[in-house]
């Protein structure tokens, strides 16, 4: 088992690396050339800035039972199809039971934006979100034994 982080725009890289090290789990940070991540206890893999280059590189490296940290629903769906466990930066686990609804919501939001509509962005990140993420990541790791 390993942890793979879709690190572009990910606010929980440090928490994930620290947790992986605590559990002695191999951790990979995947990012594009516009981001620089060098964290002790993790291997950083950097890819070109092409559309979805990091996503496809991650999918090509994930195996059944791995844990993926991403906020990208499309990437989450691809990782679920490879029997990985997937969690977002707020501690929500993506599952077969919720991914279709999330993808539909993303599609609908894209249609609204495409027709000139505007959507409210997420609120400012809180310390409570970090705590919930860390708690859920530890839960997933404990369940994997």
Residue 49 has pLDDT above 90, yes or no: no
CA 120: distance to chain centroid? 22
The predicted model gives 8-35 an average pLDDT of: 93
pTM for this entry: 0.86
The predicted model gives 88-115 an average pLDDT of: 78
Report d(CA 130, CA 82) in Å as an integer.
Answer: 27
Number of domains in the chain: 1
Domain range for 114: 2-144
Please state the length of the chain: 145
> What is the band of 145 on the pLDDT scale with cuts at 50, 70, 90?
low
- CATH number where 122 lies: 3.40.50
Residue 23 has pLDDT above 70, yes or no: yes
Residue 67 has pLDDT above 90, yes or no: yes
Handedness of CA 113, 74, 41, 141 (dihedral sign): positive
Two tokens, residue 34:
């516009």
The CA-atom distances, in angstroms, between 102 and each of 37, 61, 77, 143, 144 are 29, 24, 10, 24, 25
């Amino acid at each position: 088992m390993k942890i793979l982080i879709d690190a572009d725009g990910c606010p929980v890289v440090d928490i994930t690396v620290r947790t992986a090290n605590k559990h002695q789990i191999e951790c990979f940070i995947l990012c594009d050339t516009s981001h620089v991540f060098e964290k002790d206890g993790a291997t950083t893999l950097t890819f070109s800035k092409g559309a979805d280059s990091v996503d496809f590189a991650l999918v090509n490296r994930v195996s059944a039972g791995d844990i993926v940290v991403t906020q990208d629903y499309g990437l989450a769906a691809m990782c679920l199809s490879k029997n990985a466990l997937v969690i977002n930066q707020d501690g929500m686990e993506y599952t077969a039971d919720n991914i279709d609804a999330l993808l539909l919501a993303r599609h609908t939001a894209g249609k609204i934006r495409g027709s000139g509509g505007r959507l409210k962005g997420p609120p400012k990140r809180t310390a409570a979100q970090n705590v919930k993420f860390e708690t859920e990541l530890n839960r997933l790791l404990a369940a994997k034994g």
